[in-house]
Amino acid sequence: MSNIGSYEERIENFDWSISEEELGYKEGDVINIGWYCSDRICAQGKGDRPALLWENSTGEEKSYTYDDLRVCSNGIGAFLRSLGLKEGDRICLFMDRIPELYIGLLGILKIGAIAQPLFSAFGDESLFVRLENAGTSAVITQRKHASKLHKILDRLPDLKHIIIVDYDETRPLKEKEVAFSMDARRQDQLEIFPTRAESPSLLHYTSGTTGMPKGVQHVHYSLISQYLTAKWVLDITEDDIYWCTADPGWVTGTSYGIIAPWALGVTQVVLDSGFSAENWYRFIQKYRVTVWYSAPTAIRSLMKAGEEIVKQFDLSCLRHLVSVGEPLNAEAVTWSEKVFGLPFLDSYWQTETGSIMITNFPGMKIKPGSMGKTFPGIVGTVVDPQTYEPLQEPGRIGLIAFRPGWPAMMRTYWKNEETYQGKFKNGWYMPGDRARIDPQGYFWFIGRDDDVINTAGHLVSPFEVESVLLEHPAVAESAVVSKPDEINMEVVKAFVTLKPGFAVSEELELEIMNFIRKKLSSLAMPQEIEYVDSLPKTRSGKIMRRLLHAKEWGEEIGDTSTLEND
């Protein structure tokens, strides 16, 4: 059975109360995402239904029912309370894609604390700036990642506890470490903290161009958007086996890899393993995945692996494919239709929006390469970059703009209300992307309106990479831009000038690369360093990244009248 109805039917007389009624929520009620995703499903008599089927790279498997989610998240919540943690505290999840990461998020939310998921590949410096800004009270992690925390512990006075979920008695606990076993600490009852619609729920960090990463604060009411968008766009039903390939360190992995599927009572699968086409196809075949939510980078990697490998597997279980994270090129849509018998449908949103905003809605005519149309209840357009007035003429390129007020919209940037307010112009929320709208109302993505690098669907801040480069004793100046890449669309490239006494060599480059590898995630690592005598600057001394970007992409350089040496 499918949720599909025509786009026109869905958009007519739409109201978010549709979602509220299905979830049994009324304005002013307690709304706690942790409870809605576990206890509520059990109360419906579905406690025995599989909620999570998990597998890792060694073939180890684990499975959890909805009743397991309930008692395991209760146990996590009770343990956190026993440490003195409470509502409003920021509790970081810093783990690989293990069950404790997924169920731990529910436990944090159940006690009214704020969950702060971070990508486990972050280096210690990337980790520090996010924990320090949030004033994080505790980090739930694995032994292999704890060493990163100990390197920065003396700079994190707010951090009281490092909770180790895979404690081994052969290795003594270190400073601030406490051991926790999720399966051993199951608890049948837990007093759920009575969070309301505007109670903070998650703190996701996203990269910016001119400063440190910003903490995007979401609230429990975001569930209203996430539930209905998953039901209508991802077309998830109770009979589906659902696979979202995103890591919960990123917003897709929480909104649609934890919250939405479990609020819908669906069985989801998780593969904690590196990418390979063979592994992915085997996983889909083994678990009979029906709905697959993935990223263009992965799809292009599957394309590169070729069509022959697809024929080795029975993928007839698949019935609905959706893509997210970056533009989905038309070739990927037609390729997936050819090899899977189904097109990947592009969807567009971002950390700040919390849920899908523009999408190729099931049942709509698909235009390969298009983002689709706005989700029902979302008022979106493109506006003039100077006046922020909607562009009336179809096909004109402008800035994407949304009318504020949907349930999953961020409520602020953590400790940065000024930047948050700057996201609104002339009554519109501005996500920072350029697009055009065709005569039929379909959006077509053009590009970012700033310097943020979108590599493999993950946003990388040039400022953050430049800051780490400048810490190396040989580096005098640095500028970071994107360069084209066949698989990832764009990757990080660094331009570097060296201090006197240092000369370009393979040994120095290896030293610089190893230096920044310890501080940044693998996705933020430069794929190339180009050494230059000087960087292009304005007369006021500002590095003109756009000139370096234009060079990499073969674009017109444009106005250089402000260059210092022009």
Neighbours of 467 (CB within 10 A): 17
> Which stretches of 449-509 are assigned E, i.e. beta strand?
453-455, 458-460, 475-485, 489-498
The pLDDT value recorded for residue 370 is 93
Phi, psi dihedrals of residue 407, rounded to the nearest 5°:
-60, -35
Phi, psi dihedrals of residue 42, rounded to the nearest 5°:
-65, -40
**Spatial separation of the C-alpha atoms in residues 177 and 174, rounded to whole Å:** 5
Cross-strand bridge partners of residue 161: 138
Phi, psi dihedrals of residue 61, rounded to the nearest 5°:
-125, 145
The pLDDT value recorded for residue 340 is 97
Phi, psi dihedrals of residue 36, rounded to the nearest 5°:
-60, -30
Domain over 453-553 is classified CATH 3.30.300.30: yes
Token digits of residue 263: 């609020």
Report how far apart, in Å, the C-alpha atoms of 248 and of each of 92, 170, 254 are.
12, 30, 5
Low-confidence residues of the chain, pLDDT below 50? 209, 539-540, 559-564, 566
* DSSP structure string for 58-120: T--EEEEEHHHHHHHHHHHHHHHHHTT--TT-EEEEE-SS-HHHHHHHHHHHHTTPEEEE--T
pTM as predicted: 0.85
Q: Answer for the pair 234, 320: CB distance below 8 angstroms, yes or no.
A: yes
The pLDDT value recorded for residue 226 is 98
Domain range annotation of the chain:
7-378, 453-553
Angle (CA) 4 408 203, round 5°:
130
The pLDDT value recorded for residue 559 is 44
Same fold yes or no, 7-378 and 453-553:
no
Residues 6+ apart with CB under 8 A from 64: 50, 51, 52, 54, 72, 99, 103
The pLDDT value recorded for residue 561 is 36
Q: Which residues of 307-320 are buried (b: 16+ CB within 10 A; e: fewer)?
A: eeeeeebebebbbb
Cross-strand bridge partners of residue 204: 216
Per-residue pLDDT reduced to its tens digit, 30-67: 999 999 999 999 999 999 999 999 999 999 999 999 99
The pLDDT value recorded for residue 211 is 61
Q: Taking Cα atoms as reference points, which of 229, 226, 290, 198 lies closest to residue 36?
A: 226
Domain over 7-378 is classified CATH 1.20.1630.10: no
Give the length of the chain: 566
Question: Which residue has 């990479």 as its token pair?
Answer: 465
The pLDDT value recorded for residue 278 is 96
Per-residue pLDDT reduced to its tens digit, 272-303: 998 899 999 999 999 999 999 999 878 888 98
